[in-house]
């Protein structure tokens, strides 16, 4: 199992999101590296960033650093192209399994359970995705219901058809990631965890994650 941590230098929504102090002067990248190092050897972890200055964090933990091509960190580049490009830059065999691990969910650290489950199901599924169940009544932007019927057919929340949100981690072989230009295949296994999940995309979410992480620690 190899791991790639995609962490570009700049963020369009939260300034310096990946690299600003998050907990006790450590940033999100450092926290995720430390979580992974409890289960993965340093030689199997790759930090992908478009700023060579961030190589210092890879050196700090003894992991690999890949200087990402500028185009692969641009908001104008389709995300599928960026995914394929970053994985192509990894000097690993095409049959190797790769865990795509983003730093935006610092609350998840159960990588032992995640990797164990992948080894159990990889013969039946082409990928594994960390998810959290969505138990809210969802609406389209035009007001139409997504996962429930209005009026007298309105269901109790516990009876809603299950929907899931992707929570920043997935696993697939390198050759399949390159084939799909995406880290999720056609037959993904949905790995749901009871660990609290948060996808940091705004400053408010960053600050909330800080509080939850400090409480968890």
Chain mean pLDDT for the chain: 91
Distances in Å between the Cα of 19 and the Cα atoms of 33, 61, 191 are: 13, 15, 28
Q: What is the structure's pLDDT at 105?
A: 93
Size of the chain in residues: 217
Mean pLDDT, rounded, for 137-142: 86
Q: Which H helix or E strand runs over 37?
A: helix 28-37
CA-closest candidate to residue 122, choices 192, 72, 73, 170: 170
Return the pLDDT at 146.
Answer: 80
Q: Is the pLDDT of residue 40 over 90?
A: yes
pLDDT at 11: 78
Q: At 198, is the pLDDT very low, low, confident or very high (cuts 50, 70, 90)?
A: confident
108 contacts 169 by C-beta, under 8 angstroms: yes
Question: Tell me, what CATH number does 104's domain have?
Answer: 3.90.550.10
Ranked by mean pLDDT, which of 97-101, 165-169, 205-209 comes out on top?
A: 97-101
Q: How many CB atoms lie within 10 A of CB 214?
A: 11
pLDDT at 208: 92
In percent, the amount of the chain with pLDDT more than 90 equals 70
* Structural domain range at position 135: 2-216
> What pTM value is reported for the model?
0.90
Exposed, middle or buried by CB within 10 Å (0-12, 13-18, 19+), for 1?
Answer: middle
Average pLDDT (155-173) is 84
pLDDT 10s digits, 72-108: 988 889 999 999 999 999 999 999 999 999 999 999 9
- Distance (Å, whole) CA 71 – CA 81: 9
The tally of domains found in the chain comes to: 1
For 16, left (φ over 0), alpha (ψ -120 to 50), or beta? left
């Amino acid at each position: 199992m190899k791991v790639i941590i995609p962490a570009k230098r700049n963020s369009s929504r939260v300034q310096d999101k990946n690299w600003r102090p998050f907990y006790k002067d450590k940033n999100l990248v450092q926290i995720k590296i430390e979580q992974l190092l409890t289960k993965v050897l340093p030689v199997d972890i790759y930090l992908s960033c478009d700023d060579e200055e961030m190589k210092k964090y890879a050196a700090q933990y003894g992991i690999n650093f890949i200087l990402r091509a500028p185009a692969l960190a641009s908001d104008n580049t389709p995300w599928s192209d960026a995914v394929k490009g970053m994985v192509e830059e990894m000097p690993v065999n095409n049959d190797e399994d790769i865990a795509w691990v983003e730093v935006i969910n610092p609350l998840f650290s159960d990588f032992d359970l995640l990797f164990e489950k992948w080894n159990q199901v990889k013969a039946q599924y082409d990928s594994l995705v960390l998810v959290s169940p969505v138990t809210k009544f969802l609406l389209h932007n035009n007001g139409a219901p997504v996962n429930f019927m209005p009026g007298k057919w309105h269901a109790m929340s516990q009876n809603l058809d299950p929907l899931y949100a992707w929570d920043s981690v997935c696993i697939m072989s390198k050759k399949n990631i390159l084939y799909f230009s995406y880290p999720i295949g056609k037959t993904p296994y949905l790995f749901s965890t009871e660990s609290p999940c948060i996808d940091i995309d705004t400053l408010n979410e960053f600050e909330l994650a800080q509080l939850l992480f400090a409480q968890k620690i």
